[in-house]
A and B are shown apart, each in its own frame.
Chain A
């Protein structure tokens, strides 16, 4: 956690900040979803409360908090109340492991407070990573905690003792297990190319112009950045499709198909408990968008070839001097760049939801097992052969 109390405090604050960031983004996403769907369907959407209807979020949150609290008559109390909390955990843990920007360097300083004199003293230079916590195994950890998401749906489905909820939960867990396979396999190709599980190392590899080995000779294309999507277009497509199924959104929203199952696993939930399921779903989307950006679009890197982390950092050092301030500004620049990429993918999630119709159950299983799994396997084999040939 850290050497002294200052580092420990900052690291703990970072964990809370990541959680709050995810939760606070949800009202904005709900607004984007409602306004976006209205835009796509030629309606206006919520536009009465505040400028552009933005205050609608506040009104909704207050409404959710003041709704009546109830438990279904033969519901199982522990599972019923535990499920919405469990829905938040995987998304938050996964999001904490993704690097959001360049590390912040804090130069050595001495603290000289008039009160709390026991804290005074000199503090050495620190390096704070711009992420909740660094796991060396990166993507494997993210896949591990994301796979726990199925429990929240199962607990909700069984705990509310409602046939629609149970059917929704069974569909959801079957779907998540089926598509986890395609999700994991679609990533094997890009992991072979990078040769690491660690997100920071992946982003470091994607810096600079596009360069690749071909029959032992290195070629470099100066005008394109060295992003994963140019090496693994098929893998990117499969991963993107599988993340829709993992976050249970249209066209994969069979677990909550309104026409058949009322609302699926959260039929019996109202008020803030339902909102927590929504936070979990949007958290899944944010993790998926951040992963797509990290794997295939260079993470927090700028799309301009010359603007590497070193170049931007040295630009701000030359302009401002010192260590701490330029590194904070550099981190903010790259953070905004990553936010733009995440925002783009989140908009695509909304766009697809309101454009495509829902799959039938047999179509869903055919797509998962008979289409995406073989293509993902083919991608792995072709990538492995290509790597052996090009590096020989």
Chain B
């Protein structure tokens, strides 16, 4: 018997897979970016089904809501006919794509194998328990993993400063 959770999982998983395939198969970069956004929303739904409510919402806010919007916005600003030709045809770039995909696939498979099948533990969504899960997450984040958390924050700050510096040197968009 297919429960509503199973149905939602298959719906969201197939949505994520199909839009993921669209990202690499479609020629137009705008469509690729929009498909990636759909994939992110589907993955947020899968996180929700797994009981990771906070991660699901943050996935929506950060990746689907901010990062992909910026990507799409920047893509829309450019005339992409030239880029479309260079990046979608050619033996070297094709081989590179397949190699990258294989690497990531191997990484994910390795992680699943090493975890010994405990990666996907089914949990039913429960409104009352979600706050506890979020509290637990923040507690772990600010005690056990505080150094990693702060290090990532510093890394992002360095990236932001670097991006500003690069755009300011001669030849950038804001050159003096």
User: Most chain-B CB neighbours within 10 Å: which of A79, A151, A198?
Assistant: A151
Q: Are B128 and A143 in contact (CB under 8 A)?
A: no
CB distance from B9 to the nearest CB of A (A): 16
Q: Is the Cβ of A1 less than 8 Å from the Cβ of B4?
A: yes
A281, CB-defined interface residue at 8 Å: no
Chain A residues with CB under 8 Å of B139's CB are none
Contact in complex: A143, B4 (CB < 8 Å): no
Q: Within the complex, what minimum Cβ distance (angstroms) separates A79 from chain B?
A: 8
**In the assembled complex, A170 has its CB within 8 A of some CB on chain B:** yes
| A151 CB contacts on chain B under 8 angstroms | 34, 37, 69, 72
Residues on A with C-beta less than 8 A from B131 are 136-137, 196-198, 201
A144 vs B34: C-alpha distance when bound (angstroms): 17
Q: Contact residues of B with A, CB < 8 Å?
A: 4, 30, 34, 37, 41, 44, 53-54, 56-61, 64-66, 69-70, 72-73, 76-77, 125-131, 134
Given A134-B127, A136-B129, A143 and B61 contact (CB-CB distance below 8 Å): yes
Which residues of chain A from 102 to 156 have any CB-CB distance to chain B below 8 Å in the complex?
Answer: 134-137, 140-141, 143-148, 150-151, 154-155
Q: Mark A207-236, 1 if CB is under 8 A from B, else 0.
A: 000000000000000000000000000000
* Residue ID in chain A nearest B129 by CB atoms: A136
Q: With an 8 A cutoff between CB atoms, is A157 at the interface?
A: yes
Q: Is the CB–CB distance between B69 and A177 below 8 Å? A: yes
Q: Which of A79, A150, A158, A198 contacts B69 (CB 8 A)?
A: A150
Residues of B within 8 A of A177 (CB): 66, 69-70
Contacting pair B130 A148 (CB below 8 A)? no
Contacts of B73 in A (CB 8 A): 154, 170, 173-174
Chain B residues positioned under 8 Å from A180 (CB to CB): 61, 65-66
Task: Compute how far the CA of A184 lies from the CA of B60 in the bound complex, rounded to whole angstroms.
Answer: 14
Check if B57 sits within 8 Å of A143, measured CB to CB: yes
Question: Which residues of chain B come closer than 8 Å to A197, judged between CB atoms?
Answer: 130-131, 134
B72 touches A154 (CB 8 A): yes
User: Are B53 and A135 neighbours in the complex by a CB distance under 8 Å?
Assistant: yes
B36 to chain A, nearest CB (A): 12
Q: A148-B60, A151-B34, A170-B76 are in contact. Are A137 and B134 (CB under 8 A)?
A: yes
CA of A176 to CA of B70, assembled, Å: 11
Beyond known contacts A177-B66, A180-B61, A198-B127: 8 more, CB 8 A cutoff? A79-B34, A136-B127, A136-B129, A140-B53, A147-B64, A169-B76, A177-B69, A177-B70
Cα distance A42–B44 in the bound complex, in angstroms = 50
A166 at the interface (CB under 8 A from B): yes
- Are A144 and B76 closer than 8 Å at their CB atoms? no
Are B37 and A170 in contact (CB-based, < 8 A)? Answer: no
Contact B58 A140 (CB under 8 A): yes
- CB neighbours of A146 from chain B (8 A): 65
Number of interface residues of A (CB under 8 A): 33
- Contacts A136-B53, A144-B60; A150 near B65 (Cβ below 8 A): yes
| B69: min CB distance to chain A, Å | 5
Docked complex Cα distance between A136 and B73 (Å): 32
Inter-chain contacts of B129 with A (CB < 8 A) = 136
A201's nearest neighbour on chain B, judged by CB, is: B131
B-facing residues in A242-270 (Cβ within 8 Å): none
Q: Chain A residues with Cβ under 8 A from B76's Cβ?
A: 154, 157-158, 166, 169-170
Residues of chain A with a CB closer than 8 A to B66's CB: 147, 177, 180
Contact indicator per residue, chain A 161-185, by CB within 8 Å of chain B (1) or not (0): 0000010011001101100100010
- 27 A-B residue pairs with Cβ-Cβ distance under 8 Å, sorted by A, are A134-B127, A135-B53, A136-B129, A136-B130, A137-B56, A137-B57, A137-B131, A137-B134, A141-B53, A141-B57, A143-B61, A144-B44, A144-B58, A144-B64, A145-B60, A147-B65, A148-B60, A148-B64, A151-B34, A151-B69, A151-B72, A154-B73, A154-B76, A158-B76, A174-B73, A197-B131, A198-B131
Q: Is the CB of A137 within 8 A of B60?
A: no
Give complex CA distance A196, B131 in Å. 7
Nearest residue (CB) in A for B69 is A150
B64 to chain A, nearest CB (A): 6
Residue in B30, B37, B65, B125 whose beta carbon sits within 8 Å of that of A144 in the complex: B65
A178-B126 Cα distance, complex, nearest whole Å: 33
Query: Chain B residues with Cβ under 8 A from A148's Cβ?
Result: 41, 60, 64-65
**Which residue of A79, A136, A166, A176 contacts B128 across the interface (Cβ within 8 Å)?**
A136
Contact, CB under 8 Å: A154 / B69: yes
Q: In the complex, what distance in Å separates the CA atom of A190 from the CA atom of B107?
A: 41
Shortest CB–CB separation between residue B100 and chain A, in angstroms?
27
Which 3 pairs across A and B sit closest by C-beta, in order of nearness? A147-B65, A136-B130, A144-B60
Residue contact B65 to A140, C-beta cutoff 8 Å: no
Chain A residues near B128: list those with CB within 8 A.
Answer: 136
A140–B34 contact, CB under 8 A?
Answer: no
Cross-chain contact A140 with B70 (CB below 8 angstroms): no
> For the complex, what is the distance from the CA of A345 to the CA of B34, rounded to whole Å?
34
Q: How far does the alpha carbon of A14 sit from the alpha carbon of B70 in the complex, in Å?
A: 35
Q: Please give the distance in Å from B32's CB to the nearest CB on chain A.
A: 13
Which residues in B have their C-beta under 8 angstroms from that of A1?
A: 4
